[in-house]
Amino acid sequence: MRECMKECYKKRSPCSEHECRMYIDYDEDLNCTLIAVKKHGPMTLEQIGTRHHISIVRAKQILDKTLGKLKKTLKRENTI
């Protein structure tokens, strides 16, 4: 667990480190993607879109592209 996440979680105050890769502009989850996942577990595309201010369709596009990259990486590792 990241130190900034631990600190925000203990204080129950939103993160102010906008440069952090895990930062999201969503106060309900203390502006942290890691806290959102810890609080809610698996989320729907709608929930993800709401937190990142994108549409459900865009969230699906990002998910599909990421899964494609993971499959390509796994294929490459299995052939080595």
User: What's the predicted TM-score (pTM) here?
Assistant: 0.71
Q: Using one digit for the tens of pLDDT, what is the confidence trace for 18-73?
A: 888 889 999 999 999 999 999 999 999 999 999 999 999 999 999 999 999 999 99
Are 57 and 33 in contact, with CB atoms under 8 Å apart? no
Q: Based on C-alpha coordinates, what's the Rg of the chain?
A: 15
Distance CA 17, CA 32 (A): 9
- Tens-digit pLDDT profile for residues 5-20: 888 888 888 988 888 8
Domain boundaries in the chain?
A: 1-41, 43-80
